[in-house]
Amino acid sequence: MDSNIDQAKGRIKEAAGDLTDDRDLKNEGRLDKAAGKGKEIVDKIRDKADDLIDRARDTVRDKADHR
């Protein structure tokens, strides 16, 4: 599931838990938000790693082309 969806779902559950005074639902919402944030962080790290790999690959190709 998309990280933004998880975070939104978490905010909704947390708000519903607040409104209904349901601590379990509120805590579940907090966990969903945290999971979504974790996925977002992992996605950003993955994107950065992919960029670094692409740059390294390009550097190696450029050096091979100049030989």
Output the pTM of the full model: 0.74
pLDDT at 64: 83
C-alpha span between 36 and 12 (Å, rounded) = 13
SS3 21: coil
The total of structural domains in the chain comes to 1
Report whether 27 contacts 11 (CB < 8 A).
Answer: no
Q: What is the pLDDT along the chain (67 residues), one digit of tens a residue?
A: 688 999 999 999 999 999 999 999 999 999 999 999 999 999 999 999 999 999 999 999 988 887 7
pLDDT at 1: 61
Which residues span the domain enclosing 9? 3-65
